[in-house]
Amino acid sequence: MIEQFWFILLGFAAGVLGSMIGLGGGIIVVPVLTFLGFPPTVAASNSLFAALSNAVASTISYSKQKRIEISLGLKLGLLSIPGTVLGAIISTDVAPEIFKILFGFVLIASASYIFLRKKIESKEKRLSKQIMVFAIGASFFAGIISAFFGIGGGIIFVPLMVVGMGMVMKRAAPTSQLILLFSSLSGVIVHSLLGHPDFTQAGFLAIGSFAGGLVGARLSLDIKERYLQIIVSVVILVAAAKLFLDSATENPGFFGF
């Protein structure tokens, strides 16, 4: 058990970044576990434990700062639950090379969002019926992404709130953490029922992620975002490239080589 304490450090680092950018720490945890040879279902399910712990800590901190749109967060969170059930189920038999390719694209989308997040902020918008219908569909899709990849779904929810609903980033990222609390909890339950996670590793990740969530929520008030955006985006893009390369190396026939 002692040799697995490094999961706490991984969870902490992922928790700090996940809380600050509103995407959850899965974009850090899942690539690391995948590079170390963990099967996709184990990487995703273990990561969801960290995402849940991070969401709890972040929600507590952000609620004290009064930065969460509680009503909206509850609605979108509940709407994501059916998708998480489906995402956990379909992840059961996914081939590692397919998982790596798909997750590589998720990382590219995440890096693009992180780097451009200030530019996509828009003026306050009224929530039209069309936007709310779109939000329902997006929440279901985000739930699938959340449980399938173990990332929580913030890559869908934060842009949805900022671009579609006109919410400022300072409130969208905290509200995303409340939503991720629901999506990650339901994903954890389904993955656990399917026997996917390693509970010891997941527990250590959760401990580190909880502490990281508290720290990240506090740092988000003061940190200069631009440097963080550049560093995190570069790291994520390198991870995406490594996932594509590993997938091509492990199964060259899949790419027609």
User: What integer pLDDT is reported at residue 253 of this predicted model?
Assistant: 58
User: What integer pLDDT is reported at residue 125 of this predicted model?
Assistant: 52
DSSP state, 65? Answer: T
Residue 255, amino acid: F
Residue 162 neighbours by CB distance under 10 Å: 23
Phi, psi (degrees; rounded to nearest 5) at 122: -130, 170
Phi, psi (degrees; rounded to nearest 5) at 180: -65, -25
Residue 61 neighbours by CB distance under 10 Å: 22
Contact assessment for residue 239 and residue 107, using Cβ atoms and an 8 Å cutoff: yes
Contact assessment for residue 146 and residue 152, using Cβ atoms and an 8 Å cutoff: yes
Which tokens go with 190? 């389904």
Start-to-end Cα distance in the chain = 42
User: What integer pLDDT is reported at residue 136 of this predicted model?
Assistant: 83
Tens-level pLDDT at each residue, the chain (257 residues)? 667 889 999 999 888 887 776 666 788 898 889 888 899 899 999 999 988 888 888 888 888 888 888 888 898 899 999 999 999 999 888 888 888 888 888 888 877 776 676 665 555 555 566 777 778 888 898 889 889 988 877 777 877 777 777 777 678 778 888 888 899 999 999 999 999 999 999 999 999 999 988 888 777 666 666 666 676 677 778 878 888 888 877 666 555 54
Spatial distance between the Cα atoms of 62 and 66, rounded to a whole number of angstroms? 6
Spatial distance between the Cα atoms of 152 and 62, rounded to a whole number of angstroms? 17
User: What integer pLDDT is reported at residue 82 of this predicted model?
Assistant: 93
Residue 85 neighbours by CB distance under 10 Å: 17
Angle between helices 96-116 and 26-35 (to 10 degrees): 150
